[in-house]
Structure 1
């Protein structure tokens, strides 16, 4: 029986994944410091936040061993972010809402990486969008559960998963139109980031069922 050729991933997936891992791990580690966890807790939350969403995506599309274990850059990226926060959290906290900022950036990067990788593995457009969203929100959701908090993706009205969905949809639409993957990836990440930031700035919320207030 002939073996299928290996799937060749473009640079968009690698660099979007790595950027997403680093900034999301920064946010996870910073929350660990705020919860007064020790060094072990800081690095655990950095790893979980940075890698869990991508690992779930890879398992679902059959990309095994998952990139977090197979690629020598993924785990060090999360560990590096944990170290940055552990030693430099006082400086980082001077920024305005740093965790929200890191989360918004990570949403964009991961939505692009997740949707692009799903398409590369032959997944249909709609499931590819959903896998982009899963990649974007998975690590943060698990982080919040470990901290005994309601996952941000489930909080009423938050334009969180919807922001990730926008970025993933841009990637899928760009692929259907045969647009350059790098430009489409940039547009998807920026679209997600912009929607998330605007929603926080102006208090935009997702609609709820009529009469549910």
Structure 2
């Protein structure tokens, strides 16, 4: 491994662990809102910080999930839960720092998940899907454990969309042979879109309510007969409004 690759690996690892810590703290914040005890804090922190990666590795079926092989990941997740147990993150700047780390993690996890899928021999579409799962899976598990609809399903600013963008960029650039550039672009673009969405309140629209017209002619025999009568009168040059018609 050359120096450039080592530097990139260290940057990715730092962002990865920082994202684990930030999401673990966010899991702890959710535990505080739900008035859970220390066990709840730690469990939600682990699921929030590591859930997406463990789901990805389980689906890839290539051995033990990476989060369980490297002790640094579990340490960061547990530490985040303990920190959130003792510290309330209601301050303006603490919230901003967490949002920044979380945004960087979206791009980083999307890139790592997509690249792992490609290295496992999967196609471009499964790679994008696994990149997204890596980024949003932990938050989904956290919300489900709290009996809530996952926030990525609606009512929240763009998050899964940021993961989709980052995963797609990573797959395209990786296919072109620019893995390092793809990782950097995915991290920056995913973070930028997430932060801009938070800043300006960008959300996806909910379901539309298009109404399908009622098939009157099929459900109403009288209307069908009237339609046939009107067509016959038109062919015969008969105006049904003329006096004496039908007499």
Assess same fold via TM > 0.5: yes
Residues 145-174 of structure 1 show CA distances to partners (whole Å, capped at 9, x for unaligned) of 112222111115742211111111111122
| 1:48, distance to aligned residue in structure 2 (A) | 0.7
Deviation at 1:197, TM superposition (A): 1.9
Identify the range of structure 1 (39-48 vs 115-124) with the bigger mean alpha-carbon deviation. Answer: 115-124
Tell whether the 8 Å contact from 1:48 to 1:143 is kept in structure 2 after alignment.
Answer: yes
C-alpha contact (below 8 Å) 1:13/1:112 kept by paired residues: no
Q: CA RMSD in A?
A: 2.7
How far 1:180 sits from its partner (Å)?
4.5
Q: CA deviation at 1:71?
A: 1.9
- Which of 202, 205, 213 is the equivalent residue of 2:203? 205
Matched, 1:59 2:61: no
- Alignment-derived partner of residue 188 in structure 2: 190
Q: CA deviation at 1:142?
A: 0.9
User: Which sections of structure 2, spanning at least 5 residues, go unmatched?
Assistant: 1-7, 212-247
1:119–1:17 Cα change, 3 Å: farther
2: CA distance, partners of 1:43 / 1:144: 15
Say whether the 8 Å CA contact 2:158–2:197 is kept in structure 1: yes
Q: How much has 1:31 moved relative to structure 2?
A: 1.5
Q: Structure 1 residues 40 and 53, CA, compared in 2 at 3 Å: closer, same or farther? A: same
Rounded Cα–Cα distance in structure 2 between residues aligned with 1:128 and 1:206: 23
Query: Displaced runs of 4+ in structure 1, greater than 6 A?
Result: none
State the secondary structure of the residue aligned to 2:19: helix
Give the TM-score of the pair, scaled to structure 2.
0.72
CA–CA distance in 2 between the matches of 1:39 and 1:58? 28
Structure 1 partner of 2:138: 139
How far residue 17 of structure 1 moved from its aligned partner, in angstroms, is: 3.6
Larger radius of gyration: 2
Contact 1:157 1:207 in 2 (8 A): no
Matches within 5 A, 1:12-31: 14-31=13-30
Highest relative contact order (Cα 8 Å, sep 6+), 1 or 2? 1
Query: What does the per-residue CA deviation read over 1:57-115, in whole Å, with 9 as the maximum and x for residues that have no partner?
Result: 001112211112222222111012122222332xx320268397154343222212211
Partner of 1:93: 90
**Is the Cα–Cα contact under 8 Å of residues 44 and 142 in structure 2 kept in the other structure?**
yes
Does the CA-based 8 Å contact 2:15-2:104 persist in structure 1?
A: no
- In the TM superposition, residue 128 of structure 1 has moved relative to its aligned partner by 0.7
